[in-house]
Structure 1
Amino acid sequence: MNNVIIVEFALYFIVIIGIGYLTSRTKMSHSVFLLGGKKLPGWALAFSERATGESAWLLLGFTGFVFTTGLAGIWVAAGIALGIIFSWLVLAKKFMHETDKHKVLTLPDYLAVNFGAKANIIRWVSSILIASFFMFYVGAQLAGAGKLFFTSFEMDKTLGIVLATIVVLAIAFFGGFISVVWTDMIQSIMMLITLCVLPVVALIYIGTHDLSITQSLATAGDSFNSWFGGTTGFALGILFFNNFSWFFGYLGGQPQLSARFMALKNEKEAKQGISVAIIWTIMAYTGAFLIGIAAIAMYNQGSFTDVETILPHMILDLMPPWIAGILLSGILAAIITTANSQLMVVTSSVSEDIIHKALGMNLSDNQLLWVSKITILVSGLVGMVIALTSDSLLYLIVSWAWAGVGCTLSPAILMTFFWKRYSGTGVIATIISGFIFTVLWISTPLDSIITSRFSTFFIAAFFGILFSLLFPDKQPTKE
């Protein structure tokens, strides 16, 4: 182990937990714990939303995907970037206004209050959907931490997962949403530094060591040097939709991202957030794509037993220890921000949507606050167990969760926003069909042909429209 990197990791842990503790000293109510009480600036929420949205998937999963795919990997970045830009330009202000109008704290509760007759059923099915997939999502982040510690220090992955779990739980437990957003903001900047500095250094290395990206792409595989993966006709359409399909999960259905929109204070703060989020997205995805392409020139295919460790390997190979420690901390930052935010989503679904609203338990504000904190601890430990017992790849787990939650709830949100004939039965049909078809789809070879991210969105939308027309609300319940 390199002592310099170990010291920098230790300092990083201390600083992040310290920020979480200091921000937790805000006077805390249940609503402030879950959504910040409309006290956070738009630029901080934008940094937090971006760090939350990308996670270890961007730094480990996407860079590894580009390394094994080549130029065609650009369509994943394009789909995601357009989805992020659309969500901020079109949906962020809508979420802000709807939250103020209905006084809600969670995405399931927003869906529920618009369809009063079916409100509790909607809360139950949406909360079960979120909890089911997000436990695996949290586990994927913690598994990413284990990979990082193993690659950086040859540390036992189990110990790495346990350490990351402790930090994640400490931040979320202390101050809830406010602590998570402020630590996210710091970590979002760290992620951006890693994604912008490393490709520049890698390209300089390639240029000074007489390596050729063009030649490496040509020799890596038949399709690596083609923007469309060497496909034509129907196969080209499948490749495009499979890679571009991440777009559909950004259309309002990711509760950990939509919470940042709901927490916006006013139009001015929303405009700040839009600018920060779009700039961050363009810089981060350009950097991540270039890292994957540069890795093709630097390493042979088959050089790694796990391609999702390419980025930390590149950092250790190219950087002096004191810089490597900072950049590796950027990967850890991505893991912690997303795991924190996902824990907050699960917590809010349990304490607000189920215990407070669906079950109607008469608890004081302080009791609800402690229910949320206990839920954080339990959910974090479950996520840790999943990380310790699963060998699944980050890219695949996040892809499935993206379909199961984002591509299921996105059509529900869009139709609630923009279609007056959408009914409570239609919402329930959207959520149940999205859940069932995602599980069925990923359990069959169909997912390798057409990704569940694409199929789930349109299947859930189809059933939502069909059941809304067949079973309209007798009296309009949404304004």
Structure 2
Amino acid sequence: MNRVILIEFIIYFAVIIGIGYATSRTKMSHSVFLLGGKKLPGWALAFSERATGESAWLLLGFTGFVFTTGLAGIWVAIGIGLGIIFAWLFLARRFMKETDKHDVLTLPDFLAVSFGEKENLIRWVASILIASFFMFYVGAQLAGAGKLFFTTFDMDPKVGIILATVVVLGIAFFGGFVSVVWTDMIQSVMMLATLVILPIVALIYINTHDLSIATSLVEAGESFDSWFGGATGFALGVLFFNNFSWFFGYLGGQPQLSARFMALKNDKEAKQGIIVSITWTILAYTGAFLIGLAAIAMYKQGTFADTETILPNMILDLMPTWIGGLLLAGILAAIITTANSQLLVITSSVSEDIIHKALGMRLNDRQLVWLSRIVILVSGVIGMVIALSSQSLVYLVVSWAWAGVGCTLGPAILLTFFWKRYSSTGVVATILSGFIFTVVWISTDMDEQLTARFATFFVAAIVGIVFSIVFPDKGEETKETVNI
């Protein structure tokens, strides 16, 4: 076990938990605990949104994916990049204004109050959807932590999972949204440093050791050197949509990301967020893609029993110990930021949407904050149990959650924003169809043919449109009658 890296990890843990504790010492109303009270700067929210959106799956999952697929992995980065840009340019301000208009704290509550009918049913189905998939999302992050500790310290992954859980719970429990955003900001910079510095060092290594990425792509497999994976015809379309389909999960349906939009104060802060988020995305995804390609040149296929440990292995092979420790902490930062945000989303769905709103329990701010903290602890332990018992890849689990939540709630948000005839029945139908379809789809081998990220989005959207036309809200029926 490397003592220098271990000391750096301990310092890192102490700093971010300290920040979480410091922010908890301010007056903590329920709205501040869940959404920051509209007091956080746009640039900090943008850093937080990017750190939250790009978790262990980017640094571990995506780099491993590029290593096993080659150039065709670029379409994942393009799909995600365009999704992020679209969300910040066309949805962020809308979320900000709608939050102010309806005085809501969560995505399910926004959908509920936007439709007078069936609002409690909307809260229930949206909250159950989020909690169900996000438990596994949290588990995927903690599993990524286990892989990191195993690669870095040859530590039992289960011990690493438990350690990461303790840190995640410490941050989220103390200060809620405010502490998560400020620790996210620091960790987002650490993530970006890892994704910018490592590919530069790797490319220098490749050049000085007479290696060639182009030659290695040819040797790795017949499809590695093709931007379309060697596919043609229908197979080409499937490959393109499977990789590009991450785009659909960014269209307003990820509550942990939309919360950052809802927390924006004004247009000036939104503009700051747009600049920061787009710049971050371009640098981070370019770096992650280059890391995957560099790994193909540096290592033979089959070198790793788990390809999602490539990035930490590259750091240990290429960097001086003390710098390597800092970059490895950047991976841990990605894991912790996302797990924190997932826990807050689950917490807000349970405490605010179900207990406070749907069940109508009258609790004061202090009681609601402590209720949220209890939910954080319980959810964190459940996520830890999932991580300890799951054998699935981080990339795969996050992909399922992306489909089940983002590609289900995405159509609901877009239709709410841009289609006046969308009805409360349509909202419920959108969520239920997306939930059921995703579970059924990933339970069969169909997900290997056409990803649920693509299929779920369009199934949920079509079902929502059809049910809205067939079952309009009473106000819509009255309006149409008057127009006639």
| Range into which the TM-score falls when normalised by the shorter chain | over 0.9
Deviation at 1:476, TM superposition (A): 4.4
Equivalent position of 1:461 in the other structure: 461
Equivalent position of 1:358 in the other structure: 358
Equivalent position of 1:326 in the other structure: 326
Distance 2:9 2:391 in 1: 25
Task: Verify: 1:107 aligned to 2:107, yes or no.
Answer: yes
Equivalent position of 2:408 in the other structure: 408
Q: Aligned with 2:117: secondary structure?
A: helix
Deviation at 1:269, TM superposition (A): 0.2
What is the correspondence of 1:267-306 to structure 2 with a 5 Å cutoff? 267-306=267-306
Give the aligned residue type for 1:222.
Answer: E
Task: Verify: 1:391 aligned to 2:387, yes or no.
Answer: no
Distance 1:25 1:88 in 2: 32
Distance 1:69 1:396 in 2: 15
Give the aligned residue type for 1:75.
Answer: W
Give the aligned residue type for 2:418.
Answer: F
Per-residue CA distance 1:423-442 (angstroms, 9 max, x = gap)? 00000000000000000000
Distance 1:472 1:431 in 2: 17
Kindly, what percent of the aligned residue pairs are identical?
80
Distance 1:446 1:2 in 2: 44
Equivalent position of 1:471 in the other structure: 471
Deviation at 1:117, TM superposition (A): 1.4
Distance 1:362 1:211 in 2: 66
Per-residue CA distance 1:84-133 (angstroms, 9 max, x = gap)? 00000000000000000000000000000011211000000000000000
Distance 2:364 2:273 in 1: 34
Equivalent position of 1:242 in the other structure: 242
Equivalent position of 2:368 in the other structure: 368
Deviation at 1:365, TM superposition (A): 1.4
Equivalent position of 1:70 in the other structure: 70
Task: Verify: 1:119 aligned to 2:112, yes or no.
Answer: no
Distance 1:10 1:362 in 2: 42
Equivalent position of 1:94 in the other structure: 94
Equivalent position of 2:83 in the other structure: 83
Distance 2:263 2:26 in 1: 16
Distance 1:176 1:6 in 2: 27
Distance 2:476 2:83 in 1: 31
Give the aligned residue type for 1:136.
Answer: F
Distance 1:303 1:185 in 2: 35
Give the aligned residue type for 1:30.
Answer: H
Equivalent position of 2:52 in the other structure: 52
Equivalent position of 1:15 in the other structure: 15
Unmatched segments (≥5 aa) in structure 2: 480-484
Per-residue CA distance 1:168-209 (angstroms, 9 max, x = gap)? 000000000000000000000000000000000000000000
Deviation at 1:363, TM superposition (A): 1.1
Q: Aligned with 1:96: secondary structure?
A: helix
Equivalent position of 2:251 in the other structure: 251
Deviation at 1:22, TM superposition (A): 1.0
Per-residue CA distance 1:428-471 (angstroms, 9 max, x = gap)? 00000000000000011110110000000000001000000000
Distance 2:465 2:106 in 1: 24
Per-residue CA distance 1:250-304 (angstroms, 9 max, x = gap)? 0000000000000000000000000000000000000000000000000000000
Distance 1:23 1:390 in 2: 34
Give the aligned residue type for 1:98.
Answer: E
Deviation at 1:233, TM superposition (A): 1.0
Q: Aligned with 1:403: secondary structure?
A: helix
Distance 2:356 2:446 in 1: 40
Unmatched segments (≥5 aa) in structure 1: none
Q: Aligned with 1:297: secondary structure?
A: helix
Distance 1:125 1:281 in 2: 32
Q: Aligned with 2:27: secondary structure?
A: coil
Give the aligned residue type for 2:59.
Answer: L
Number of aligned positions between the proteins = 478
What is the correspondence of 1:158-169 to structure 2 with a 5 Å cutoff? 158-169=158-169
Counterparts in 2 of 1:476 and 1:362: CA distance versus 1, 3 Å: farther
What is the correspondence of 1:416-431 to structure 2 with a 5 Å cutoff? 416-431=416-431
Distance 1:434 1:140 in 2: 21
Give the aligned residue type for 1:239.
Answer: L
Give the aligned residue type for 1:299.
Answer: Y
Equivalent position of 2:482 in the other structure: none
Equivalent position of 1:137 in the other structure: 137
Distance 1:25 1:292 in 2: 42
Q: Aligned with 1:116: secondary structure?
A: coil
Equivalent position of 2:345 in the other structure: 345
Deviation at 1:24, TM superposition (A): 1.6
What is the correspondence of 1:427-438 to structure 2 with a 5 Å cutoff? 427-438=427-438
Q: Aligned with 1:227: secondary structure?
A: coil
Question: What is the TM-score of this pair, normalised by structure 1?
Answer: 0.99
Distance 1:191 1:476 in 2: 48
